[in-house]
Amino acid sequence: MTTEDIRIDTANGIGFIALDRPKALNALTAPMLRAISEALRAWRHDQAIRAVVVYSPHVRAFCAGGDIRFLYESAKAGEREAIDAFFTDEYKLNHAIFTFPKPYVAVVNGVVMGGGMGISQGAHHTGGLRIVTQTTRMAMPETRIGLFPDVGVSWFLARTPGAIGRYLAATGASLAAADALYARMADAYLDDGALPGLVESLRHQRFLDGVEIIRFVQNETTKYKVAPIPERSELADARTMIDKHFAAGNGASILASLEREADTGNDWAKRTAAELRERSPLSVDVALQQVDRAKFSTMAETLRRDLDLTRTMFARGDVLEGIRARIVDKDNEPQWKIARVEDVNAADVDRMFESAWTPASHPLRLLKD
Q: Is residue 232 part of a domain?
A: yes
Count of structural domains, the chain: 1
Q: Over the chain (369 residues), what is each successive 10-residue block's mean pLDDT?
A: 82 97 95 96 97 97 93 95 96 98 98 97 98 97 97 98 98 98 98 97 96 97 91 97 98 98 98 98 98 98 98 97 96 97 96 97 96
Q: Is residue 295 part of a domain?
A: yes
Cα gap 322→252, rounded to integer Å: 20
pLDDT score for 356? 97
Question: pTM of the entire structure?
Answer: 0.96
pLDDT score for 159? 98
pLDDT score for 67? 87
Cα gap 148→341, rounded to integer Å: 15
pLDDT score for 314? 97
Identify the domain containing residue 129 by its residue range.
6-352
pLDDT score for 131? 98
Q: Is residue 28 part of a domain?
A: yes
pLDDT score for 275? 97
Closest C-alpha among 3, 107, 2, 13 to residue 55: 107
Q: CA triplet 253, 314, 175: central angle to 5 degrees?
A: 55
pLDDT score for 313? 97
Which CATH number covers residue 134? Answer: 3.90.226.10
H-type alpha helices, the chain: 30-44, 68-76, 80-98, 115-118, 153-157, 164-171, 177-182, 195-204, 210-220, 234-246, 251-262, 267-278, 281-294, 299-316, 319-323, 346-352
Q: Is residue 169 part of a domain?
A: yes
Q: Is residue 274 part of a domain?
A: yes
Q: Is residue 46 part of a domain?
A: yes
pLDDT score for 225? 80
Q: Is residue 206 part of a domain?
A: yes
Q: Is residue 17 part of a domain?
A: yes
Cα gap 198→200, rounded to integer Å: 5
